[in-house]
Amino acid sequence: MIASKKKLTTGILLMASFIGVLIVIFLPIFGQGRNGLEFSDDLFNKLAKGSSYFIPKVKAEVATVMDKQLDVTVKFKDPNIAKTADILLAKVGATGEAKGDLYEIKGNLHKILSQVLTDSDYMYKDEGKPVADFYGMDEKKVMEAWYTILSAMIQPLQKQKLIHEASVINTVNQKAIEPAYNFYGIPAEHVGEKMPLVTGMLAFYLLYTVWYGFAIFDIFNGIGLSMTRSKIKKEV
């Protein structure tokens, strides 16, 4: 039973136009064969990378462990990482030695982390070749290995009461290796340079959400389904 033909018609028109716009969003017409979702995902990935360059700040933290010599025994979840660790550590003047299912690392922590920051800087700037050439292996494999090596060192260092050193290592992992690895191959852009586009997209998202809400609201009202407060019965 139709309660309001006008409301129902308005709701149907709103819903039809909403679906029409949704179809357009999924069409590959937003450049390079991308649909609207792929375009927005690409844009916000670029903007996220543009706001994730922390290496200069991390260098200042790494400088606080300038003279720290490491002697730490770790355990890798994947024992095959030990061979890669041998190569990486040798490149920074450190040593690694497998002892059963354990792996002993000795070396200067500052020198290790400084090289990791250099590698991360190259990767963040999408310049993987210097990293690959330096170690003689794929640049992403290098970063994965460094992340694994450093992660394995954190808990053993904490047990040695070297809390600050463990914290610095964790910072390098989170603010240098992770952004460099995750955003590798993605150009960096800054919000300030894309403000009109970003503002327009956010405004459209808000409008589109409200659009759908009004469509549902009018359709329900049109067929007599509405959410209204029931009248309070007064006692005689």
* CA 124 centroid distance within chain: 13
Q: How many domains does the chain have?
A: 2
Question: 170 and 74, same structural domain?
Answer: yes
What is the residue range of 195's domain? 5-49+190-222
Question: 34 and 87, same structural domain?
Answer: no
147 within some domain = yes
> Of 133, 157, 182, which one is at a domain's C-terminal end?
182
235 within some domain = no
Question: 59 and 150, same structural domain?
Answer: yes
168 within some domain = yes
Question: 172 and 73, same structural domain?
Answer: yes
229 within some domain = no
Question: 117 and 44, same structural domain?
Answer: no
Residues of the chain with pLDDT under 70: 1, 226-236
93 within some domain = yes
Listed in sequence order, the DSSP H helices in 92-194 are: 109-124, 129-135, 139-159, 163-172, 178-182
CB 24 within 8 A of CB 36: yes
Closest by CA to 112, choosing from 57, 155, 71, is 71
227 within some domain = no
The tokens describing 108, both together, are 């200067």
Question: 127 and 33, same structural domain?
Answer: no
Question: 137 and 108, same structural domain?
Answer: yes
The pLDDT of residue 79: 82
Q: For residue 124, give Cα distances in angstroms to 110, 134, 143, 194, 200.
A: 21, 16, 11, 20, 28
Question: 45 and 59, same structural domain?
Answer: no
Place of tokens 């059963």: 100
pTM summary value? 0.83
> Of 182, 212, 231, which one is at a domain's C-terminal end?
182
Cα–Cα distance between 24 and 41 in angstroms, integer? Answer: 16
The pLDDT of residue 80: 86
The pLDDT of residue 60: 97
CB 176 within 8 A of CB 120: yes
118 within some domain = yes
231 within some domain = no
Residues 83-105 as b/e (b if ≥16 CB within 10 A, e otherwise) read ebbeebbeebebebeeeeeebeb
Question: 155 and 73, same structural domain?
Answer: yes
Question: 163 and 63, same structural domain?
Answer: yes
Question: 60 and 177, same structural domain?
Answer: yes
> Of 182, 213, 230, which one is at a domain's C-terminal end?
182
The tokens describing 6, both together, are 């006008």
Closest by CA to 135, choosing from 180, 96, 87, 81, is 87
Question: 32 and 134, same structural domain?
Answer: no
